[in-house]
Amino acid sequence: MDSRQFHSPLPHYPGFAGRLTAGMNDNLHQLRCFGCGDRISGSEVLPDFRCAKCGDLFEVEYAGWSLRGGTNRPNAGALKWLWRERRSSSETLDHSGVWRFRELLPILDNYGNAVTLREGNTPLYALTRAAQKLGVDQLYAKHQGMNPTGSFKDTGMTAALSVAKERGFEWVACASTGNTSAAMAAYAARAGLRSLVLIPEGKIAWGKLSQAMDYGAVTCQLKTDFDGCVKVLAEIVQKEPIYLLNSVNPYRLEGQKTPAFEIAEALDWNVPDHLIVPGGNLANSSALGKGFREMRELGLVARMPRISVIQAAGANPLVRSLSANHGKDLEPVEAHTRATAIRIGNPASWRKAVRVIQDTDGWCLDVTEAEIAIAKAELGAEGLGCEPASAVTLAGLKKLRAEGKIGSGETVVLVLTGHTLKDADYTIDFHRGTLLKEEESAGYGEDIEKLRRNAVAVDANPRAVIAAMRGSAG
């Protein structure tokens, strides 16, 4: 791609310190270890993205942002203007809901290396029926399933895969519960790179597996779980020149923070009172927290939302850690849930998630298989739909409301992370009544029956179809 293609035609805006367009050589970033605080340059990082001194993960940091009046500090008013103008720009990079905000993720030397599928710019839908039922004034769903490969992973992948391309890698790889691999395979294919996917055999949804194949990845199904795949890949990247694209890669989080900008922009630079996010490997909650924190630091918004993380009860190591020791240690668990995207027992980014929850006074709780299934059907019945892992957010909100932790006057945003077609088998099993075991649905029978809409076999004549229509529940 020709970098000149990305030269913005927008005019100079006074007060923007000459940094109106992010062209070449705007790269300001360094990596800071989350554990020991050591700082290194991006090119010094080890293949497993762990700190050489303490083994913890890195965060991307931008020199000078925290200094008021510093020359590197972007101007909040100018940024808001510029980002809005870009909505009507004809430049490819401006069509991306990630790179539209590129002043806040200056991680590339040359924006000609950006690999984009026009990710981001996802809708913020009002959830009117759920809001009414729960007695919440303003309830929204930020639907990240509306990204090009059907999940929020695209926002992170465009960022990190562009770095891989800029650094000259031929191969990229990830271990995945399905969505990361789908996104990575697509972006690698666009960039002309080879991709290697490690997935737990039999434990990912077919829609996601089919995507990795479709986009030409070398897909290895390992006889282990997600956590086992992560271990195998950690050894491979030490032996082969492969760029690791799991969320231990801090550039993924730079892309995944941009939905925070979109949410604030959609609410006219107000922040919601509460953001509710599903928790698996725990990178996304951390990324969104970083997005809101940086916006506050730069004066784009006045405060942070509370950020709460919801896990499946069968895959809840963070919930356990926070209740056992306030998030000081995390004991891995053997994970079991039909929400396969978040079937993770040993989450890599748990320390980052603890910081986000504690800094924002958020909550962390878990929900059962029946609660997830019901919430997913309710979101479907509002015409949105999502994959099971995303539905934990609504299930979590119901609990937080019931416990009085969220007031009726609050503005709440649920982050729906994946598209409903990712896991059609789950949806069909729910509506057929074969998803849950009796003991799992105990106490929820009535709620489930009200939501079930099984397809019915009907004789091929109008009378029979009309009878089926009249006989259906309202």
**Per-residue CA distances from 92 to 117, 333, 459 (Å):** 9, 44, 51
Cite the DSSP H helix spans in 173-225. 179-191, 206-214
Residues contacting ligand F0G: total by CB under 6 A: 22
291 near ligand F0G (CB under 6 A):
no
279 near ligand F0G (CB under 6 A):
yes
Q: Shortest Cβ distance from residue 177 to ligand F0G (Å)?
A: 4
283 near ligand F0G (CB under 6 A):
yes
As a whole number of angstroms, the distance between CA 163 and CA 184 comes to 13
The answer to whether 215 and 186 are in contact (CB under 8 A) is yes
Among 96-104, 276-284, 326-334, 356-364, the segment contacting ligand F0G (CB under 6 A): 276-284
The distance of Cα 162 from the centroid of its chain, to the nearest Å, equals 18
Of the two residues 116 and 390, which places its CB atom closer to ligand F0G in the complex? 390
Q: Shortest Cβ distance from residue 137 to ligand F0G (Å)?
A: 26
Q: Shortest Cβ distance from residue 386 to ligand F0G (Å)?
A: 8
Rg (CA), the chain: 22
As a whole number of angstroms, the distance between CA 222 and CA 435 comes to 25
Helix, strand, or coil (residue 146)? helix
As a whole number of angstroms, the distance between CA 286 and CA 23 comes to 28
308 near ligand F0G (CB under 6 A):
no
The single residue among 284, 321, 346, 360 that binds ligand F0G, judged by CB under 6 A, is 284
390 near ligand F0G (CB under 6 A):
yes
Q: Within positions 342 to 361, which residues make up the interface with ligand F0G, using CB under 6 A? A: 342
The single residue among 250, 255, 259, 280 that binds ligand F0G, judged by CB under 6 A, is 280
**Per-residue CA distances from 209 to 72, 144, 402, 423 (Å):** 43, 19, 37, 10
233 near ligand F0G (CB under 6 A):
no
Nearest alpha-carbon partner for 193 in 220, 235, 155, 160: 160
Nearest alpha-carbon partner for 142 in 419, 415, 418: 415
Among 72-80, 91-99, 123-131, 384-392, the segment contacting ligand F0G (CB under 6 A): 384-392
As a whole number of angstroms, the distance between CA 83 and CA 295 comes to 14
Q: Within positions 153 to 212, which residues make up the interface with ligand F0G, using CB under 6 A? A: 153, 176-180
- Quote the DSSP letter at residue 279: -
441 near ligand F0G (CB under 6 A):
no
The widest CA-to-CA distance across the chain, in whole angstroms, is 75
Of the two residues 211 and 441, which places its CB atom closer to ligand F0G in the complex? 211
Of the two residues 19 and 153, which places its CB atom closer to ligand F0G in the complex? 153
Tell me, what amino acid is at 284? N
Q: Shortest Cβ distance from residue 390 to ligand F0G (Å)?
A: 6
**Across the strands, what pairs with 413?**
140, 275
Q: Within positions 239 to 258, which residues make up the interface with ligand F0G, using CB under 6 A? A: 247
Of the two residues 272 and 345, which places its CB atom closer to ligand F0G in the complex? 345
Q: Shortest Cβ distance from residue 399 to ligand F0G (Å)?
A: 18
Residues in contact with ligand F0G by CB under 6 A are: 151, 153, 176-180, 247, 278-284, 341-342, 387, 389-390, 417-418
